[in-house]
């Protein structure tokens, strides 16, 4: 049964219209030529795979900030949070996670707390792995107050092939760590802005799992981690 669960996982409901469209397209292609039908079937299978939404085991100890996305840590740097969130002009530590088209694309809330603002910003669609994508690309940004009064921000950023960001959070909403809050189609980046004096517990190049990988610990004085590929 455990092996079967790794293959058969829940599908996010936002994906069913796309899966249905791919399936209809596959059927129409099969009427034209059988090989085209098989290609359409393969594309439908990929669409099902893209919209998978597996359950995760979320660490619930107070003070932990977890990854909002599956992907790879592409950058850790000092940067200003999105101006639409009105969080001031002091740079914060930004952890950027790059998602490719094979990652799970459902985002999860990185911490307990209250949504202070949820803002959408229209923009371009440059490569999400580039630093300028945080300023130029389409994005949905969330300002989040933690139970201890400190604030974080997290941002969904569209990429080259992403053409739709869904953020289901509203200002004033209480969220739980690991709660599903959004989805990006079909390749993207997520940024997390950490509070002052909070060091990330991940390194550039590290693979993250949404809702499971601990990005930071508000109760820890551990220095920022470094890593190397081996």
Taking only the tens place, the pLDDT of each residue in 20-30 is 988 999 898 88
Main-chain dihedrals φ then ψ at residue 87, nearest 5 degrees = -105, 15
Contact by Cβ (8 Å): 81, 39: no
pLDDT higher than threshold 60 for residue 1: no
Q: For residues 110 and 131, which has the higher predicted lDDT (pLDDT)?
A: 110
Let me know if 188 is a catalytic residue: yes
Question: In the prediction, which pLDDT does 128 show?
Answer: 53
List the catalytic residue out of 2, 188, 220, 221. 188
Contact by Cβ (8 Å): 144, 151: yes
Question: Considering the entire predicted model, what is its pTM?
Answer: 0.85
pLDDT higher than threshold 80 for residue 227: yes
* Mean pLDDT score of the chain: 87
Tokens standing for residue 51: 């919209």
Question: In the prediction, which pLDDT does 10 show?
Answer: 85
pLDDT higher than threshold 50 for residue 3: no
pLDDT higher than threshold 70 for residue 214: yes
Q: What is the pLDDT of residues 130-145, one digit of tens each?
A: 566 566 678 899 999 9
pLDDT higher than threshold 90 for residue 76: yes
CA separation for the pair 152, 64 (Å, rounded): 12
CA separation for the pair 147, 158 (Å, rounded): 29
Partner residues linked to 185 by β-bridges: 164
CA separation for the pair 162, 100 (Å, rounded): 10
Residue 144: which residues within 8 A CB-CB, separation 6 or more? 109, 110, 111, 113, 114, 115, 116, 151, 152, 153, 154, 175
CA separation for the pair 154, 85 (Å, rounded): 10
Q: Which of 156, 162, 212, 158 is nearest to 186 (CA)?
A: 162
Per-domain residue ranges of the chain: 2-50, 64-217
Q: Which of 177, 181, 178, 187 is nearest to 157 (CA)?
A: 187
Contact by Cβ (8 Å): 197, 220: no
CATH T-level assignment (fold) for domain 64-217: Glucose Permease (Domain IIA) (2.70.70)
């Amino acid at each position: 049964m455990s092996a079967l669960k790794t293959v058969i996982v829940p599908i996010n409901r936002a994906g069913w219209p796309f899966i249905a469209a791919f399936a209809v397209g596959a059927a129409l292609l099969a009427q034209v030529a059988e090989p085209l039908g098989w290609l359409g079937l393969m594309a439908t299978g990929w669409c099902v795979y893209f919209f998978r939404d597996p359950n995760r085991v979320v660490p619930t100890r107070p003070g932990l900030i977890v990854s909002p996305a599956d992907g790879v840590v592409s950058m850790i740097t000092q940067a200003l949070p999105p101006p639409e969130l009105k969080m001031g002009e002091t740079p914060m530590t930004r952890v950027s996670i790059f998602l490719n088209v094979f990652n799970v694309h459902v985002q999860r809330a990185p911490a307990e707390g209250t949504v202070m603002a949820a803002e959408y910003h229209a923009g371009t669609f440059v490569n999400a792995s580039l630093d300028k994508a945080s300023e130029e690309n389409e994005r949905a940004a969330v300002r989040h107050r933690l139970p201890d009064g400190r604030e974080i921000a997290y941002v969904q950023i569209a990429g080259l092939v992403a053409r739709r960001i869904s953020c289901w959070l509203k200002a004033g909403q209480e969220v739980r760590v690991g709660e599903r809050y959004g989805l990006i189609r079909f390749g993207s980046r997520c940024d997390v802005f950490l509070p002052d004096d909070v060091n990330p517990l991940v390194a550039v190049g590290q693979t993250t799992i949404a809702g499971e990988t601990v990005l930071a610990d508000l109760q820890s004085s551990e220095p920022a981690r470094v890593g190397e590929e081996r």
